[in-house]
Every structure is written in structure tokens, then in C-alpha cells.
Homo-oligomer: A and B are copies of this chain.
């Protein structure tokens, strides 16, 4: 059971959270209710899209990664699971919708909402807060309110007077491929107000089963189910029961159900839906443990109290009110994924399709590691070290259950979708061990990293090992892969060094230099190379697609050597030439045609040719620090923050990427950034806070102060750590977590020493 009262405090930070930020266009955030890292994300979906073949670039499927698009005129229903900020869609499980009138078991269309159970709505009658969402559904005239606990979605529907009030549960509808995703559904109606069941789907996740339990605050008078599977081979020519109405033993493909009520005017019917990855029994137990009663307000405030506690970990003073909204919404967005993936009794379904019990850790799922290894997991290492340790434990469990013997690439719900390049689990693991966060078996973790990095048949790793780079013939993203493998290999080397395993260190530190093999000194860029050692002839340095790169062109990706930037600068012609390169990157004119090919971000997500909305550039601005022009880093950081993060539904220029974009914002707001996770260094930027207090656990506090902070004073005149001047624009992890104070003196003029 959740805590009953929210702690008294001066100011509720949770009120700054604006879940609507990023819900337009490509932000791909959801406005609905959830608790920090909760298994349930109960949120409105504004469309569910018919099947499109296996292609994230089918625009419609891509549009609904988080189920909700701010500009859409109708709401299809409220589903219980959502990704936040991804560039690929899935989930959207268990669509619920209150309706009045004739029973309709299909959603209908956005232009004719009356053809289905969906409804028009207006943003003027909509409210999105942390763990609370409210909207007036115009067609049925039903006020829908949503809140959650970790594993339970709580609905409160205020109906008009009607003897035809319904709650629809559509098990066939879902995000990704509406009419093909459901493989099988089972529902058991246990009595007049409780049902259990499971939905098995093949969406982006190949094999995924969600068990559920649903309870209604008022007994339904009737219920029924439909299945769109034309021929369910079952029970011969006998029809022993009338299975259409009030038949409690339901199974089939693509089932939708209606539960019918008589309602008085303004009568509230509440519904709770608990989920489990393991069994209906566990779903019921989750519900009983988390929300045994019908007190919507208590659950709402309990969840908001969890958010408040989360946000209180960093108290900031900022220049403007909007900055608070941006900052705390970033903290909110950086606490949505990965999600808890186990029942209250610790059970979960593993990658091996077996039921496991998480032993001494909270099991998490939905790791978008290509995004999150950069700033998100390092951020957790500071303010949520226990969660990050558990995430590493979750990755290790995934590895142990993997028949491929690989750490997760893009795992969710007992699947790995192998999305994006690299094997960045190793970065998260090495970072967590080197920073003393993960306290499990470090040698087993190193073995898992090595085994993963030696999976020869995975996207060119074999050739990478043999040639020192992924050859052009082997992969359409050969350069991205090579550069990211090299960084990951450096992480493994760091971990091996830490554990004093010399042979592994030797092997992987050597591999970490493989980025050199794809640098074409003739053109001054990284470039695809074939197995004969020849660079690709046809090559456009602005192209992001099909020329060796993924989510970034060579202008951006050539800078991706976060573990050895000094050598990179040397290789690229020295500091001056490198500075010029960076200047060009931020200022050049990008021809229109390249915008169409740039993934996951709107045009606004691009500054010159610098693509902030895509992760490979996230460390780039800091390279000015060692190219002899830290002041350029400082001003550009402030420019990026100003430019790329806004309040309002269209506040994000691109996918939030499961909190990576937000974590970038938080670090930069505080004035430092982990350029190369698995090192213990943070590089100094230009904070936007006037001051900040980070609560790092065990009573440790780290303070940031920016003297003379203003919108114009973007330059750092001086940095002091605990009173001592920081000369190299770097601070160490230990210097933060042991507590202390980082003092910036800001200025409107660059300090060109």
C-alpha cells in the first residue's frame, strides 16, 4: 500500500511537472499518469494504427510511439503501457474506454468518431499532471480521470444518466500494428465485478504476454465479448453455452469486451487494472498489495508524493519560472524508463520464457541503451544509484537467460529487439562498477561484457574483430558500429583494468583504437571502408542514411571518440583545425533534402549541422574544451538548452529517447556532463542554475552555485570545487558523491586564456 500522505514541504516541485511537454510531433512523450519507473503508464491514445509491415518509417506507426499526438482530435482509449520518447513503437496494452449508447467494440475513425468507441475531446478540458490525467470525453459526456500505482492503473469515469453506460476493454487494439498484433487473449470473468486474463502479442517485441486483473467499483449488469478471428476452431458443432453474453470463459484472437451499467447523472464508476508479466494470480496479488481500496485521491496523491520525493533530490534556483518547468519535467521524463518489470512477489518472466524471482534486486525492462548509456545512466549513478545498480542486475539476469549469450541491446518484456548499433550495456555496467554503484559480481559482469563483445555473428562483430572495423559490405551502418564498438571496447578495457584482468584489458584497449581505421585523412572524415581496405567511393558527408551511419552523418559521427578525444583532435589536424570543424558544424547551412532523412527529430532539433536530437552528438560541444576554446562550449551549451528545450506540448524538438535528452538537459543545467561514461570524469560546461542542491543519498549533498548568473552571462569566468580552482574543466565522480560545492563565476564575456 502506498503512503497515505504527501510530506509537508514549502513548495511542491511536482507542480512544475508538465507531462504535456513533448506530446506534439516527435517528442513522443505521453501525457498520462504514472509513478517513477512504474510498470503502468496509463495514458490516452489518440490513434491506433492498422498494420504496417515491419517498418518504423511508416509514418503513422512512428507517430504513435507514445500513443498520443497533441494535434489529434479524438481519443481512442486509455491504455496501460507506453514508451516515453522512443523512436519505435510498441505497447499500448489494454485499451479501456467509457461509452454511452449502443455498444461499439471497434474504435472507429478519427474523422468519424461516432463510428466507434472513440471520442472527440478538447485540450481546454484536459489536464495532465504527474500521476494524474483528466479529460472530458465529448461524445459520451464522460469525464475520465486516471491515476496509478506501480503496477495498477486506476480509472475514474463520471457518467451521465443512462441505462446504456459501458466500459469497453479492447484487447485487440494496441500501439504498433493495431489489427495484427494480438496473438491470443484469454479473459475469465470471476464475478460481477472482477475479471482476469492475459493478452499475448507479437509487435515490436516478438513474444510478449501481459497478464491482468480488472475490478470495477460497481457490479456490471451484463457483459459480452467479440472476437474478430473468423473461425475459432472449438468444441465441434456443439454450442453448449451462449458465448456471446455473460459467458465468463473467454479466449480467442482479437477480443474486445463491453461491461454494461445503469448510471445516474454524474455517477462515478471506478475501475482498477493491475498487470503482471507472470500470471493472472500475480496480477490480482499486485492489485491487492498496491490498491486494495477505491480511494482515487489517496492513490493520486501517493503517486505524486513519490514524484515529489524524486524531484526533491535536486533543488534548483533558476532565472525564470519556465526554467523550473523545463528542469523538473526533465527530471520527470528521466524517471519513466526503464520500468519495473516484476510482481510484488518478485516474479517476472525472463528472456528464456521462464518465470524467475528477482533475488535481491528490482528487475527492470525496456532498456533503450544506445540512447541512455550516454547521460541517463550516469545521471542515475548520481541521484538514483540503487536503481541503476538494480538495472545492471537486470541486465545481468537478461544475460544469464539469453540463449544468444548477449547482454541487452534494446530489451523489453522478455525480448530483445536489437535496435540501434553498439553493445552499450557494457558502458552502463563498467560505469556503474567503476563508480562503486553496482556491488554485484564484477568479474561475472566483465565476462558477460567480453562474451557480448565477441558475438561474431552479431552485426559485423566478427569482421570488426578480424579487420579492425566493420566493413562496408557487412552493414549499412558500418562506421556507426565501428565507432561505437570502439568506445564500448574501451569501457570493457576500463573495467578489466579496474579488476586487474590484464589480458582482457590488452585486447580491448587495442580494439578501442579501431576508430582510427575508418578515418579518411584525405577528406578529414570517418568513412566506410570495404574488406579490401578501400574507402567507399560514392560518399556524401551530409548523408545520414545507408552510407555507413545511423542517426547521424559523418560530420557528427566523426567526432564520436568520447574515450580518446585528444587523439581524435590530433588525428583530425590539431586543435585549430578541429575548432574550425566544430564552428562549421554549428553554423553551416544544411540543404533541405537532408532534413527529410534525419531521424527522430523535427527541423528545430538541428543547429547548423549539429543534430542535438540524435544522441551521437551529445558530447560534441564539450570537445571545444580541449580544442582550446572552452568559451565556445559554454555559449553553445546555453544556446542548445535555450533552443531545444521549451515548455508546452511542442517543447521537445525530437524524441526524448527514454530520458536521455532530459538527462542531458539536467546535467547541463547543473554545469557539467559525463563526456565518456566509464571514466570518472565530468566535463565543465555552463550552468543555467543560479544554485542547486543535489541530495546524493546517505546524507551527502553536492551544491552548485553560479555567481552572477544571468541570461547573458553564459561564460564561465572561474570554476572552483570546494574553494579550489578547477583548471582543466573537469571534475571527478568521487568529488561529487562525497559531497561538496562547485562554484561558477559567470560572465558575459568569454574567458579566452
User: Contact at A236–B189, with CB atoms within 8 Å?
Assistant: no
Distance, CA A403 to CA B187, complexed state (A): 10
User: Contact at A419–B189, with CB atoms within 8 Å?
Assistant: no
> Is A78 among interface residues, defined by CB-CB distance under 8 A?
no
> Is A619 among interface residues, defined by CB-CB distance under 8 A?
no
Report the copy number of this chain in the oligomer.
Answer: 2
User: Contact at A237–B57, with CB atoms within 8 Å?
Assistant: yes
User: Contact at B251–A234, with CB atoms within 8 Å?
Assistant: no
Binary interface profile of A, 170-205, with partner B (CB < 8 Å = 1, else 0)? 000000110011011010111000000010101110
Of the stretches A352-360, A433-441, A493-501, the one at the interface is A352-360
User: Contact at A242–B457, with CB atoms within 8 Å?
Assistant: yes
User: Contact at B54–A231, with CB atoms within 8 Å?
Assistant: yes
Binary interface profile of A, 383-424, with partner B (CB < 8 Å = 1, else 0)? 000000000000000000001100001000000011100000
Answer whether A248 and B184 are a contact pair too, CB < 8 Å, given A54-B234, A234-B204, A419-B238: no
User: Contact at B237–A56, with CB atoms within 8 Å?
Assistant: yes
> Is A749 among interface residues, defined by CB-CB distance under 8 A?
no
Q: Specify which chain B residues have a CB less than 8 angstroms from the CB of A594 in the assembled complex.
A: none
Contact partner of A207 (CB less than 8 A), chosen from B177, B251, B352, is B251
> Is A579 among interface residues, defined by CB-CB distance under 8 A?
no
User: Contact at A202–B233, with CB atoms within 8 Å?
Assistant: yes
Q: Specify which chain B residues have a CB less than 8 angstroms from the CB of A56 in the assembled complex.
A: 236-237
> Is A206 among interface residues, defined by CB-CB distance under 8 A?
yes
Binding site secondary structure of chain A: loop
Contact partner of A198 (CB less than 8 A), chosen from B184, B231, B353, B457, is B353
Please give the distance in Å from A385's CB to the nearest CB on chain B.
31
> Is A232 among interface residues, defined by CB-CB distance under 8 A?
yes
Q: Specify which chain B residues have a CB less than 8 angstroms from the CB of A294 in the assembled complex.
A: none
Q: Specify which chain B residues have a CB less than 8 angstroms from the CB of A177 in the assembled complex.
A: 233
User: Contact at A240–B459, with CB atoms within 8 Å?
Assistant: yes
Q: Specify which chain B residues have a CB less than 8 angstroms from the CB of A248 in the assembled complex.
A: 403-404
> Is A53 among interface residues, defined by CB-CB distance under 8 A?
yes
User: Contact at B53–A231, with CB atoms within 8 Å?
Assistant: yes
Contact partner of A280 (CB less than 8 A), chosen from B240, B353, B418, is B353
- How many A residues, CB 8 Å from partner? 55
Q: Specify which chain B residues have a CB less than 8 angstroms from the CB of A403 in the assembled complex.
A: 188-190, 248-249
Answer whether A354 and B279 are a contact pair too, CB < 8 Å, given A184-B200, A235-B417, A403-B190: yes
Distance, CA A233 to CA B176, complexed state (A): 9
User: Contact at B183–A207, with CB atoms within 8 Å?
Assistant: no
Q: Specify which chain B residues have a CB less than 8 angstroms from the CB of A51 in the assembled complex.
A: 231, 233
Q: Specify which chain B residues have a CB less than 8 angstroms from the CB of A54 in the assembled complex.
A: 231-234, 236-237
Please give the distance in Å from A460's CB to the nearest CB on chain B.
9
Contact partner of A354 (CB less than 8 A), chosen from B204, B233, B280, B419, is B280
User: Contact at A352–B232, with CB atoms within 8 Å?
Assistant: no
User: Contact at B183–A183, with CB atoms within 8 Å?
Assistant: yes
Distance, CA A180 to CA B189, complexed state (A): 27
> Is A112 among interface residues, defined by CB-CB distance under 8 A?
no
User: Contact at A353–B186, with CB atoms within 8 Å?
Assistant: yes
Contact partner of A419 (CB less than 8 A), chosen from B236, B251, B459, is B236
Please give the distance in Å from A590's CB to the nearest CB on chain B.
24
User: Contact at A418–B240, with CB atoms within 8 Å?
Assistant: yes
Contact partner of A235 (CB less than 8 A), chosen from B53, B204, B207, B354, is B204
User: Contact at A354–B281, with CB atoms within 8 Å?
Assistant: yes
Interface centre among A55, A206, A233, A404 (most CB of B within 10 A): A233
Q: Specify which chain B residues have a CB less than 8 angstroms from the CB of A202 in the assembled complex.
A: 184, 232-234, 251-252
User: Contact at A419–B235, with CB atoms within 8 Å?
Assistant: yes
> Is A539 among interface residues, defined by CB-CB distance under 8 A?
no
Q: Specify which chain B residues have a CB less than 8 angstroms from the CB of A459 in the assembled complex.
A: 238, 240-241
Q: Specify which chain B residues have a CB less than 8 angstroms from the CB of A88 in the assembled complex.
A: 236
Answer whether A232 and B206 are a contact pair too, CB < 8 Å, given A186-B353, A237-B57: yes
Please give the distance in Å from A56's CB to the nearest CB on chain B.
5
Distance, CA A236 to CA B368, complexed state (A): 14
Closest residue of chain B to A177 (Cβ to Cβ) is B233
User: Contact at B207–A418, with CB atoms within 8 Å?
Assistant: no
User: Contact at B190–A207, with CB atoms within 8 Å?
Assistant: no
Please give the distance in Å from A211's CB to the nearest CB on chain B.
9
Closest residue of chain B to A401 (Cβ to Cβ) is B188
Binary interface profile of A, 250-294, with partner B (CB < 8 Å = 1, else 0)? 011000000000000000000000000001110000000000000
User: Contact at B203–A233, with CB atoms within 8 Å?
Assistant: yes
Distance, CA A399 to CA B7, complexed state (A): 49
- Which residues 456-477 of A have a CB within 8 angstroms of B? 457-459
Please give the distance in Å from A20's CB to the nearest CB on chain B.
28
Q: Specify which chain B residues have a CB less than 8 angstroms from the CB of A232 in the assembled complex.
A: 54, 202, 206
Answer whether A184 and B183 are a contact pair too, CB < 8 Å, given A234-B204, A234-B417, A235-B417: yes
User: Contact at A241–B418, with CB atoms within 8 Å?
Assistant: yes
Q: Specify which chain B residues have a CB less than 8 angstroms from the CB of A231 in the assembled complex.
A: 51, 53-54, 180
Distance, CA A202 to CA B233, complexed state (A): 7
User: Contact at B184–A235, with CB atoms within 8 Å?
Assistant: no
Please give the distance in Å from A383's CB to the nearest CB on chain B.
32
Please give the distance in Å from A511's CB to the nearest CB on chain B.
19
Please give the distance in Å from A226's CB to the nearest CB on chain B.
16
Q: What are 19 sample pairs from A and B whose C-beta atoms fall under 8 A apart?
A: A51-B231, A51-B233, A54-B237, A180-B231, A180-B233, A183-B184, A184-B207, A188-B403, A190-B403, A200-B200, A203-B233, A204-B233, A206-B252, A207-B251, A240-B418, A241-B458, A248-B403, A248-B404, A279-B354
| 5 further contact pairs, Cβ within 8 A, besides A54-B232, A54-B236, A206-B234 | A54-B237, A183-B183, A198-B353, A202-B252, A280-B354
Q: Which 5 A-B pairs have the closest CB atoms?
A: A240-B418, A188-B403, A248-B403, A240-B459, A206-B234
Residues of A in contact with B (beta carbons under 8 Å apart): 51, 53-57, 88, 176-177, 180-181, 183-184, 186, 188-190, 198, 200, 202-204, 206-207, 231-238, 240-242, 248-249, 251-252, 279-281, 352-355, 403-404, 409, 417-419, 457-459
